[in-house]
A and B are shown apart, each in its own frame.
Chain A
Amino acid sequence: AAGVIQSPRHLIKEKRETATLKCYPIPRHDTVYWYQQGPGQDPQFLISFYEKMQSDKGSIPDRFSAQQFSDYHSELNMSSLELGDSALYFCASSLTNYGYTFGSGTRLTVV
Chain B
Amino acid sequence: GIQVEQSPPDLILQEGANSTLRCNFSDSVNNLQWFHQNPWGQLINLFYIPSGTKQNGRLSATTVATERYSLLYISSSQTTDSGVYFCAVGTGANNLFFGTGTRLTVIP
Binding site for B on A (CB under 8 A): 31, 33, 42-45, 48, 50, 55-56, 58, 88, 90, 96-102, 104-105, 107
Please state if B41 and A42 are interface contacts (CB–CB under 8 Å): no
Q: Are A42 and B45 in contact (CB under 8 A)?
A: no
Partner of A42, one of B31, B33, B99: B99
B86 within 8 A of A: yes
Give the nearest-CB partner of B103 in chain A.
A40
Measured CB to CB, the residues of B under 8 A from A are 30-31, 33, 35, 41-43, 45, 48, 86, 88, 93-101
B43 near A102 with CB under 8 A, answer: yes
Q: Which residues of A contact B88 (CB under 8 A)?
A: 43, 100
The 5 A-B residue pairs with the shortest CB-CB distance, nearest first, are A99-B48, A42-B98, A45-B95, A102-B43, A99-B33
Q: How many A-B residue pairs have CB under 8 A?
A: 46
* Alpha-carbon separation in the docked complex, A50 to B44 (Å): 23
Cα A55 to Cα B99 with chains together (Å)? 22
A104 to B94, CA, bound (A): 21
Q: Which of A42, A90, A98, A100 is close to B101, meaning CB atoms less than 8 Å apart?
A: A42
Which residues of chain B come closer than 8 Å to A96, judged between CB atoms?
93
Q: Judging by beta carbons under 8 Å apart, are B42 and A48 in contact?
A: no
Closest to A42 in B: B98
Q: Which residue of B lies closest to A46 (CB)?
A: B95
Residues of A within 8 Å of B33, CB to CB, are: 99-100
Residues of A within 8 A of B43 (CB): 43, 90, 102, 105
